Amino acid sequence: MKTNPVPYWRLSAFYLFYFASLGALVPYWGLYLQSLDFDARAIGELMAIIMATKIIAPYIWGWIADHTGKGMVIIRLASICALLTFVGVFIHSSFWWLAGVMAVFSFFWNATLPQFEANTMNHLGTDTHRYSVIRLWGSLGFIFSVVLLGQLLDSLGLDIVPKLILMLFAAIVVFSFLVPEATNHQPAQQGHILDVLKQPVVIALLLVSFLAQMSHGPYYTFYSIFLKQQGYESSTLGWLWALGVIAEIIVFLYMHKLMPLFGARKLLMLALLLTALRWLLIGFFVDVFGLILLAQLLHAASFGLYHAVSIELFHRLFKGKYQGRGQALYSSVSFGAGGAVGSFISGLLWDRMSPEFIFTLAAASALLAFFISWRFIRFDPV
């Protein structure tokens, strides 16, 4: 039976522009909000909104995709709606107006990636271990965006941030129409999705996903602000963010060899241990540039290794008609609930506690995720 070739470049182009938008939003949106005179608590709350919509949006859209089999149609619709609603940030800059706009645009924007991940895995068929070779183009897009914007901020100011994000959203819309729908060749999974969710290994994986991403809260919300307070220039920030993603790309290039060699469980535990180390380095050694460089290199573990393993595990555990919802749950529980709680808590504590204390809490969250992985994920799910 002849199979359709994988549309490598079209899949890669979508990842490139999607993560380029993330490279503009995550490192610099907090700085942009600070330029509008919002305090740390308000910045934490507004950033948490983007994360919080990931709790609901991916699963709603995942349910629709699983029942209609039209994942790419949903991606195109959500991309258009995200683009149109983001225009609202140019209309007004009050807290509640921005909160509303960010809630609506991120509800649609956060719907796209989990369904695209499922579509990519379906295109790959039995070669899912090669996912990272496609996904690395998203990392390249992130690098391009974060470095370019870091350079532009020093000369053009923070007003350029929402303009660049809008242009990248437009590119996402264009490329969503170029990617074909893939056929799901996985065998149908019997029973109700609750039967899957009740498995101890699934419960453990969901807890790990929540805690791992919660530990990223201070990093995604205040890392750029923290380094700016220590005297780092915007261009330096851009290169530091880029360095982390370069390290992530190297991991993605070798994941198709690492996964069969070591197994998902061992790689997951290693990623979580190195994540804890990363937060401690940032919290306690921000004035030691060499250790900050090392901390950024550890992004290879805290995101690259962790994310590639998680995508694979959720793909194995949620089969057939539950595949879209499986990827949506990963996004909802980790980047959604975990990210929102991490951003909200770090926003509450940033002006009250020391950065050392806050990043120590982040490290503790990653270590708890490691313990759960060691204790309850005792084998590689197949």
pLDDT digits (tens, 9 = 90+) for 308-339: 899 888 888 887 667 767 877 887 888 888 98
- pLDDT above 90 (res 154): no
Element (H, E) at 76: helix 71-86
| Residue range 254-280, pLDDT digits in tens | 887 888 889 889 999 999 999 999 999
Confidence of residue 1 (pLDDT cuts 50, 70, 90): very low
Determine how many CB atoms are found less than 10 A away from the CB of residue 49.
20
What was the pLDDT predicted at 132?
Answer: 77
What was the pLDDT predicted at 153?
Answer: 85
| Residue range 23-57, pLDDT digits in tens | 899 888 988 999 999 998 899 899 888 888 878 88
- Ranges of beta strands (E only) in the chain are none
What was the pLDDT predicted at 215?
Answer: 96
> Which DSSP state fits 231?
T
What was the pLDDT predicted at 2?
Answer: 40
What was the pLDDT predicted at 187?
Answer: 52
> Which DSSP state fits 287?
T
Q: How does DSSP assign 158-205, residue by residue?
A: TTHHHHHHHHHHHHHHHHHTTSPPPP--SPPPPS-HHHHHTSHHHHHH
What was the pLDDT predicted at 184?
Answer: 61
What was the pLDDT predicted at 380?
Answer: 67
When the pLDDT of each residue in the chain is averaged and rounded to a whole number, the result is 87
- pLDDT above 60 (res 186): no
Does residue 216 or residue 4 have the better pLDDT? 216
Residue type, 104: V
Among 141, 91, 138, 144, smallest CA distance to 116 is for: 138
What was the pLDDT predicted at 59?
Answer: 76
Among 165, 160, 155, smallest CA distance to 19 is for: 165
In order of their start, the domains of the chain are 8-184+191-376 (1.20.1250.20)
| Residue range 106-148, pLDDT digits in tens | 999 888 887 888 788 788 876 766 777 888 898 889 889 988 8
What's the average model confidence in pLDDT over 95-108? 94
| Residue range 56-89, pLDDT digits in tens | 887 788 778 777 878 889 899 999 999 999 999 9
Q: What is the dihedral of CA 360, 365, 370, 372, to 10 degrees?
A: 150
